[in-house]
Amino acid sequence: MDKLVITGNGPLEGEIVISGAKNSALKLMVACLLTDEPLVLSRMPNLADTRFLSELLASLGVEVYWPKGESTCHLNAASLKTTIAPYEQVRKMRASFNVLGPLLAREGHATVSLPGGCAIGARPVDLHLQAFEAMGADIVIEEGYVKAAAIRGLKGADIEFPFPSVGATEHTMLAATLAKGTTRIKNAACEPEIQDLADCLNAMGANVSGAGISTITIEGVEKLHGHKHTVMADRIEAGTYAMAVAATGGNVLLKDAPVEGLTAMIEHLEKAGVSAKIEDGGLRIQRGEGRLQPVDVDTKPHPGFPTDLQAQFMALMSTADGVSTIRENIFENRFMHVPELARLGAKIQIRGNEATVTGVEKLKAAQVMATDLRASVSLVIAGLVADGETTVSRVYHLDRGFERLEEKLSACGATIHRASE
Ligand SMILES: CC(=O)N[C@H]1[C@@H](OP(=O)(O)OP(=O)(O)OC[C@H]2O[C@@H](n3ccc(=O)[nH]c3=O)[C@H](O)[C@@H]2O)O[C@H](CO)[C@@H](O)[C@@H]1O
Ligand SMILES: C=C(OP(=O)(O)O)C(=O)O
């Protein structure tokens, strides 16, 4: 197992190129199952999650050509070997569950392990399954597997979600492209990754409108075809580096940052006293002398403040000049980073879904442990401003979603390296 060793040593300066978005890439990859022609994805992030999904797709019969380290991935699902995704593969990564809808739409049946909960919450998939049932699928859950069948094909339906779920919106959209008739998703999630998926599906011959607003309409088509698509840049990676610079001080251009998807984060950073300027080709983050101002945060579905940046913002507020309140409204257990930040000297109290952060002047290095993907990077941010040498263990959580993190931060002057535990 790897760990990261970080020495807090002052401002970051330079440029960081933002990679393709994990949360878009994973859904784009499963879209290959909807066609027997090649889907070529460029700006693919080399991550544990995307590599893992490519292995699952290969086990279903997809020809995958994605040489190590390269950012273009060729997927060809001309013929499929099986429509079963076993527990071992879905257990390791929740997004694997997204093969269900495309397999069901194309082959009329699929058996996919339930993904189960994870560190941040129980994360049921009831809304996904209700949508497929509304589209005419018979669904049985047996021995931890979802067995879905739509022998005469899926049919369009009106689906209204009780709250906007990103995964259920994308999954329904994927399956509905090949359904007979019109599907309307009301109270759909509006995250930018949904728009990226819709753009790719439309270029493959689908008929999706309204992605990015709360009602999405999908007119089913007979067949989709191949396409070459560039994965959108990762707004969560960009937001994370923005907070790293805000924490350490300095001046960094986040090249290719998808600024339209970062409005809420930019507003919060500016309130904290950090300059975030949209420039040609990216977002420039600059913080001068003086302490950060405390800012309250409420995580919300897009366009609100993203839950995937909550832990990083908490690390930032740990050294603000005053008290801030952070409310997590999306996942019921997304404060696993709090005891670890406390080991670095942060003063945080939790009551239900609310964390009260009393900023301290200085954090102090310690040995800490990553508990989930975004929690792990919040510890890196805290380590960059702590006095002394911090080690973050269980870095495999971080490797799910951050491409070459040490390299990108080191290039801007951070002292960070990877070592074996
Ligand atoms: C791979 C990916 O894209 N992951 C993102 C996706 O996760 P994911 O798609 O899992 O998140 P959802 O938007 O679906 O989840 C939101 C809330 O709805 C609940 N829920 C969801 C589905 C369902 O059938 N029933 C149900 O109760 C979840 O437990 C959670 O409390 O969106 C989240 C919210 O922006 C992000 O934090 C994740 O990084
Ligand atoms: C929670 C996340 O991912 P996943 O939904 O894949 O667990 C995340 O990207 O922060």
- The Cα–Cα gap between 88 and 144 comes to 12
| Bind-site residues | 22-23, 94, 123-127, 308, 330
What does each C-alpha distance from 78 to 154, 165, 294 come to in angstroms? 21, 31, 54
Ligand with an atom nearest the CA of residue 333: 1
Q: How far is the CA of 93 from the centre of ligand 2 (A)?
A: 9
126 C-beta closer than 6 A to ligand 1? yes
Where are the alpha helices (H) located in 141-262, listed in sequence order?
166-176, 192-203, 235-248
* Contact by Cβ (8 Å): 303, 318: no
- Report d(CA 259, CA 103) in Å as an integer: 34
pLDDT at residue 116, rounded to an integer = 73
Predicted local confidence at residue 203, as pLDDT: 98
Locate tokens 């923005």: which residue? 242
Which pLDDT score is estimated for 399? 96
The atom of ligand 1 lying closest to the CA of 123 is 29
pLDDT value, residue 421: 84
Residue segments in the chain with a per-residue pLDDT below the cut of 70: none
Strands (E) located in 223-341:
227-230, 250-255, 275-279, 282-287, 297-298, 323-327
In short, whether 408's Cβ falls inside 6 Å of ligand 1 is: no
For residue range 40-78, list pLDDT tens digits in order.
Answer: 999 999 999 999 999 999 999 999 999 999 999 999 999
Contact 295, 266 (CB under 8 A): no
What span, in angstroms and rounded, lies between the C-alpha atoms of 395 and 371? 9
The bound ligand whose nearest atom lies closest to the alpha carbon of 300 is 1
User: pLDDT tens digits, residue range 241-299?
Assistant: 999 999 999 999 999 999 999 999 999 999 999 999 999 899 999 998 899 999 999 99
Provide, for the chain, the percentages of residues in helix, strand and coil under a 3-state DSSP scheme, each rounded to the nearest 5.
Answer: 35, 30, 35
> How close are the terminal C-alpha atoms of the chain, in Å?
6
Classify the complex by whether its ipTM is higher than 0.90, answering yes or no: yes
- Which residues contribute to the annotated binding site for UDP-N-acetyl-alpha-D-glucosamine? 94, 123-127, 308, 330
The one catalytic residue among 118, 190, 200, 412: 118
Ligand 1 centroid–CA 376 distance in Å is: 19
How confident is the model at residue 412, as a pLDDT? 98
**pTM exceeds 0.80:** yes
DSSP state of 69: T
Q: Could you tell me if the CB of 195 is within 6 A of ligand 2?
A: no
Q: Say whether 412 is catalytic.
A: no
pLDDT at 280: 85
> Which of 25, 74, 380 has the alpha carbon at shortest distance from 234?
25
Is residue 374 in contact with ligand 2, taking CB distance under 6 Å?
yes
